[in-house]
Amino acid sequence: MTPAAARPAVSHPAVAHPLSPELRAITGRDLGWICGCLIFVMAPHAVRVPWWLSLFAVCLFGWRTYLALSQRRLPANWLLVVIALLGIAAIGIEYRTIFGRASGIALLMMLAGLKLLEMRSHRDATMVVFLCYFLVLTNFLFTQSIQTALIMCGALVAITGALVSFSAPLRAPGANLRTAGMLLLHAVPVAAVLFVLFPRVQGPLWGMPQDAYSGITGLSDSMSPGTLSQLSISDAIAFRALFKGPAPTHRQLYWRGPVLWDFDGRTWRTGPRRVRVPDEVGGGEAKFEYSVVIEPHNRNWLFALETAASLPPNAWLSNDEQIMSYAEVRNRMRYEMTSVAGGRRSDTETPGSLARGTLLPAGFNPRTVALAQEWRRTIAGDEALMNHAITWLRAQRFVYTLLPPPLGRDSVDEFLFDTKRGFCEHFSSAFVVLMRAAGVPARVVTGYQGGDFNPLDGYITVRQAEAHAWAEVHVPTKGWVRVDPTAVSMPGRVDSGMANSLPAGDPVPYLMRIDTAWLKSLRYNWEALANQWNLWVLGYNTERQRELLGRIGFTDADWKKMVTVMISLLGLIMAGLLAWSLKRIVRPDPVQKLWLAFCRKLASAGVSRKSYEGPRDFSERAAGTLPGVADAILSIGERYMALRYGASRPQTEIDALKRSVKDLRPA
């Protein structure tokens, strides 16, 4: 038996301030946790901030790592202040401001990197970790996609794991991550109840800075050569539509957007609009009822099939049949629509508005004007002249392309008589100029034509690539008549879509080039999932909340009922978590239970454990008092200490301890 004085002393890691763990010095492992968390939440911003800022952040990380590995002193505070001021100045020069979404996040990234260089204790480290939590939120200011949500959930586990690691520095990293995951799982039921039952309010809870909408793509209130061809190489989704009943044919999918009246020789613009009182739509081929989920585009117009027979809430109808929202569409929006294909409203155009539809700038496109005036002299009637122009276009063998040659001052002349290569904006602009030059009122309509039907959820997805422009001509007996000059020259554009009508080598968007069946299936599945995410998570508004509560039996629930149910459920969840935690606390430890049984056996033999005795001292004293079973007592003591204070608890060792205690016969 080894005397107590001869036992080797157990060495413990040095602690700077054992009574204040927050003042404990940062270790290499702590630094690794913090740097990993910062990289996790800052990496998605690398594609959004200037390249020099990403490089600067990497240099700060490398500098701090070098100082830790070489055990050198951290830089002086005055040096960090100088670097911070230079960084703020550089960000101000880059963004022309230090306020706003993009510049604010860039500033936050720089300061987070500098904070590493003054981080000395766990208190400083905890501040950086909470900064990481805030950086998680900044990623959702740019995108709220499923991918971002999954990545940020992983970041939450890592950040919480860092906090756990500060409190348990000797535990394995995997064990700390499991603890962090368990803590976050406890919060999931609470978050779910708050999400489902917390009363929704109309509009966002906070305002976004103006620069949050600067990068939004889509149609604009003007059009010049090349505008739509550049937009049509984008795979971005403009909106989705779900029809109640049979969907329209591809040829009927004209989604009306901004109407352009004013022409300066090169660029078309919308001009002023008037409110029109919606009247009944007559005639038409078919009536369609559908819902639209439109993506934010920072404009007031809404998209609908021609001709709209209803209006969404908080919207109005303009004199040129545009559906306009009272507020700019800065959030994903869902609205119900009814349209009549080929329907017409009463003609309410005044002589002044019709005269506006014949204006052309003087001195532009002389060949086009001369051709139209020649037609006017030989053809009687506006409708007959329009049909003649359509026939003439069909015979000219134009080429539909996303890569038209650049045009000069007389852009319509050069397109019609020289290059004969263009996109829809070239065709529509040229046709309207021909009509106006002949004295026939005409205007350009922009919007989208077509859409991709998803067989999984039934939605038609309309992308920016489907951006289109066509013409409307005013015929005295019929009102405004749609003419699509692009379809006249290239009928496949409206029958089978843009991708099948372009020449080989044109830069067709990637998602429109997918022909493989399994890739299409994968895309449809992903888009259906993303659409449900948009509808039920990002678009979970008052209407959706009522719909969901109605499905589970809460009909006509007002905010008082929802708050009552919410508080009751939260109380039940907290009570359940408390009971589960108490059960874990009061549940006897099997190893401790065996040790207590061992102590009772020795007490029955006259050897009782003193309150101040540890397991080693007690085992050695009992072995000296009962020499006949000394080896068994010492063995049980060593097994107990290994299981009680060791890093692992193999079940085989617990079973061996149980057998040893059971076989012990001290008397």
Kindly list the domain boundaries of the chain, sorted by start residue.
21-186, 222-512, 542-586, 590-663
The reported pLDDT for the residue numbered 472 is: 94
Least confident of 263-277, 360-374, 541-555: 541-555
> Residue 538 and residue 237: Cα distance in Å, rounded?
16
Average pLDDT over every residue of 469-489? 90
Least confident of 20-29, 127-136, 520-529: 20-29
Inter-CA distances, 633 with 361, 476, 639, 644, Å: 108, 111, 10, 16
pLDDT of 512 strictly over 60: no
Average pLDDT over every residue of 87-108? 89
> Residue 508 and residue 466: Cα distance in Å, rounded?
11
> Residue 135 and residue 132: Cα distance in Å, rounded?
5
Average pLDDT over every residue of 495-506? 56
Catalytic residue status for 484: yes
Average pLDDT over every residue of 21-46? 84
Alpha-carbon Rg for the chain, nearest whole angstrom, is 37
Most confidently modeled range among 218-232, 309-323, 494-508? 309-323
Average pLDDT of the residues of the chain: 84
pLDDT of 534 strictly over 90: no
Average pLDDT over every residue of 108-129? 88
DSSP state of 25: B
The reported pLDDT for the residue numbered 487 is: 86
Contact 253/463 with Cβ under 8 angstroms? no
Catalytic residue status for 30: no
- Give the pLDDT band of residue 586 (cuts 50, 70, 90): low
pLDDT of 543 strictly over 80: no
Burial label, 337 (beta-carbon count in 10 A; 0-12, 13-18, 19+):
buried
Please state whether 318 falls in left (phi above 0), alpha (psi between -120 and 50) or beta. beta
pLDDT of 499 strictly over 80: no
Contacts within 8 Å (CB) and 24+ apart, 494-499: 494/250, 494/251, 494/449, 494/450, 495/250, 495/251, 496/250, 497/250, 497/450, 497/466, 498/232, 498/450, 498/465, 498/466
Least confident of 208-222, 224-238, 476-490, 556-570: 208-222
* pLDDT tens sequence across 409-431: 899 999 999 988 888 889 999 99
* Alpha helices (H) along 490-558: 492-495, 517-533, 542-551
Please state whether 420 falls in left (phi above 0), alpha (psi between -120 and 50) or beta. left
Average pLDDT over every residue of 447-457? 90
Q: Which of 424, 426, 452, 474 is catalytic?
A: 424
pLDDT of 317 strictly over 70: yes
The reported pLDDT for the residue numbered 15 is: 38
pLDDT of 99 strictly over 90: no
Q: Which of 30, 382, 484, 599 is catalytic?
A: 484
Average pLDDT over every residue of 180-207? 79
Catalytic residue status for 424: yes
The reported pLDDT for the residue numbered 166 is: 86
Element (H, E) at 287: strand 282-294
pLDDT of 11 strictly over 70: no
Percent of the chain surpassing pLDDT 70: 89
The reported pLDDT for the residue numbered 585 is: 64
Most confidently modeled range among 188-202, 373-387, 494-508? 373-387
Q: Which of 45, 122, 426, 468 is catalytic?
A: 468
Average pLDDT over every residue of 191-220? 68
Residue 36 or residue 517, greater confidence? 36
Residue 385 or residue 6, greater confidence? 385
The reported pLDDT for the residue numbered 650 is: 87
Percent of the chain surpassing pLDDT 90: 36
The reported pLDDT for the residue numbered 203 is: 53
The reported pLDDT for the residue numbered 497 is: 57
Element (H, E) at 635: helix 630-645
Contact 523/456 with Cβ under 8 angstroms? no
